[in-house]
Amino acid sequence: MICREAVVTSSFPSLTHALAEALVNVLWFIDGSEDEQMDPDDAVKVLEGVAHVVSTLPDDQRQELIELIGKMAAAETDPARREFLEEFLEGFGLIDDAS
C-alpha cells in the first residue's frame, strides 16, 4: 500500500508571517493557561524569554514584527485574541507605552 501525504499549502505570505503566527498561538495558549495546565513559574519563564528575544531584535526586524502583529490584530475576529495582539507589542517589549 502506498501512503500519500496530503499537500498542505500555507495561507501565509511569508515564513516570517507563519512563524509570527505560530509564536502568537503558543504565547496565547500559555497566557490563557490555568495553573493546572501549565506551571505558572514555567509560563513566566517562557513569556520572559520571548520578551527578551524580541526586545533584542535589530531595528529592521523589530519594525517588521511590529507591523506584522498590527496587521494580525486588525484582521483578528476574536475580540479576546485581538486584545492580546493589541497588547502584545508593549507586553513583549517591542514598544513602550509612550509609543
The answer to whether residues 34 and 76 touch, using CB atoms and an 8 Å cutoff, is no
- Percent share of the chain, pLDDT over 70: 87
Q: What is the mean pLDDT of the chain?
A: 85
pLDDT of residue 93: 81
Distance CA 33, CA 46 (A): 13
Q: pTM, whole model, 2 decimals?
A: 0.76
CA distances from 80 to 20, 38, 49, 86 (A): 18, 20, 23, 10
**20-79: per-residue pLDDT in tens?**
999 999 999 998 889 888 999 999 999 999 999 988 999 999 999 999 999 999 999 999
pLDDT score, position 4 = 52
